[in-house]
């Protein structure tokens, strides 16, 4: 374990009963931050907790025309630290918000916190807690203004998101002001993903119902992405309301058909909900129109992906269902998808998960180990694997892309943070840059 750095302070912002689910102003996920906060605390020489502690007639309360319900009132249980963090050995407990006529979101606003940190020779401040778009934002920005090297741990904060994207915009503002973003864990593990997967199931069910549907269709390749999409849908809609279809071509090995069947069984699909149909007749039709398609593996592979999606959408229309996509965050950034092929969908259940995280999600969802550990392949031509074609592993690429695309690090910072070689960092960055056009088409002129 890394020894605590005496020049670093971790500021845990407002992880209080009223700001956690069940409280007067509960923020989703606020009660799940504690394990990550505790892990970050082990590396900090100074541990700080801030608390909102308001008088009963505070200006922010709706009774006085403010935007919030009464919360964190002095002397009430809602103002106390949440039990998940209350046991941490805080060196400084900094209350704020005591002025009845003024908002004080920042732990530095009207408090001696900056002076207290300097007395302890703190140079670097790491910020976690609630809420990203309010008190975390304000505390981080004031820490920067006070001259501290400031980092926000993006996996150890939770946002109100009164307007969708408020939390993301707050982090961008901190980055633009000279702060840094990092994570306790660059990749989310099974424990961290479990509640997210439940949220995804609820959201998927809501989308399907809002469309006036009750069913979903997915193309099941035998790979991990479609297996996870299927498992989430089965949880959301019930296995009986999900239909999976295997669409082999001449290049599809039997192991992939077997793994697809195992994934369907693991998700609880009734046997009659797993269909199989060869796309070879469709490919022959394409070849009749475009005779040279067989001479070019990439063109043939793209044609295969588009044929599969034609079949999937027709099946969905027949069943009055929506189509589940299987694109993950890694494929998105790397442009590793076929437009109007595997990128076509009505719902994308795993779009925000990197490939490494999809593996963890598969384990959390009880998918077969044979699917989880196999080398990813789009099955575009015989012997094709994603990582051979890309020229680097998903594990390395995922770490690099989180650092550069999500946390705003430079390539040099990403190499230092991840331990991935600068050469691989450069190749991943080059790949991301060269496929950016795929995210901006079609162009409306």
Which residues participate in catalysis according to the annotation?
14, 52, 54, 60, 71, 96, 103, 131, 135
Neighbouring CB atoms inside 10 A of 281's CB total: 9
* Residue 225: alpha-carbon gap to chain centroid: 15
Contact 11/128 with Cβ under 8 angstroms? yes
Q: Furthest-apart CA pair in the chain: how many Å?
A: 79
Cα of 330 vs its chain's centroid, Å: 11
Spatial separation of the C-alpha atoms in residues 47 and 254, rounded to whole Å: 56
Q: Give the residue among 159, 152, 155 at the shortest CA–CA distance from 131.
A: 159
Burial class (CB in 10 A: 0-12, 13-18, 19+), 223: buried
CA–CA dist 193, 189 (Å, integer):
6
Q: In what order do the strands lie in the sheet with 92-96?
A: 92-96, 44-52, 5-13, 124-130, 149-158, 180-182
- How many whole angstroms separate alpha carbon 145 and alpha carbon 140? 9
| Backbone angle region of 129, left / alpha / beta, with phi > 0 → left and psi within -120 to 50 → alpha | left
């Amino acid at each position: 374990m890394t020894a605590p750095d005496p020049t670093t302070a971790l500021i845990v912002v407002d992880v209080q009963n009223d700001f956690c689910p069940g409280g007067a102003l509960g923020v989703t996920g606020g009660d799940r931050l504690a394990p990550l906060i505790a892990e970050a605390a082990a590396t900090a020489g100074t541990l700080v907790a801030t608390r909102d502690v308001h008088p009963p007639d505070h200006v922010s309360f709706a009774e006085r025309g403010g935007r919030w319900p009464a919360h964190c009132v002095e002397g009430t249980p809602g103002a106390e630290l949440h039990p998940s963090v209350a046991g941490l050995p805080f060196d400084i407990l900094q209350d704020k918000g005591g002025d009845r006529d003024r908002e004080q979101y920042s732990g530095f606003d009207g408090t001696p916190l900056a002076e207290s940190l300097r007395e302890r020779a703190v140079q670097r401040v790491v910020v976690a807690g609630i809420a990203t778009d309010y008190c975390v934002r304000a505390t981080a920005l004031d820490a920067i203004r006070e001259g501290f090297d400031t980092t926000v741990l993006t996996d150890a904060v939770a946002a109100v998101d009164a307007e969708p994207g408020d939390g993301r915009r707050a982090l961008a503002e901190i980055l633009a002001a000279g702060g840094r973003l990092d994570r306790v864990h660059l990749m989310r593990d099974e424990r961290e993903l479990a509640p997210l997967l439940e949220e995804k199931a609820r959201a998927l069910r809501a989308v399907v119902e809002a469309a006036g549907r009750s069913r979903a269709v997915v193309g099941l390749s035998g790979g991990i992405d479609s297996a996870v999409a299927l498992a989430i849908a089965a949880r959301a809609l019930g296995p009986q309301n999900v239909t999976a279809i295997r669409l082999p071509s001449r290049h599809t090995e039997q192991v992939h058909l077997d793994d697809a069947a195992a994934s369907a069984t693991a998700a609880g699909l009734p046997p009659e909900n797993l269909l199989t149909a060869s796309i070879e007749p469709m490919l022959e039709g394409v070849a009749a129109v475009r005779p040279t398609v067989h001479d070019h593996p990439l063109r043939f592979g793209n044609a295969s992906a588009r044929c599969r999606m034609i079949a999937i959408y027709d099946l969905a229309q027949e069943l009055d269902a929506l189509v589940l996509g299987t694109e993950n965050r890694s494929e998105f950034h790397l442009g590793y998808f076929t437009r109007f092929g595997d990128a076509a969908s009505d719902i994308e259940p795993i779009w925000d998960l990197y490939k490494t995280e999809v593996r963890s999600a598969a384990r959390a969802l009880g998918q077969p180990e044979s699917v989880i550990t196999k080398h990813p392949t789009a099955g575009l031509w015989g012997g094709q694997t994603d990582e051979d074609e890309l020229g680097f592993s998903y594990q390395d690429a995922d770490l690099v892309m989180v650092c550069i695309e999500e946390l705003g690090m430079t390539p040099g910072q990403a190499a230092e943070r991840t331990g991935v070689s600068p050469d691989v960092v450069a190749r991943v960055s080059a790949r991301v840059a060269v496929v950016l056009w795929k995210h901006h088409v079609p162009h409306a002129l």
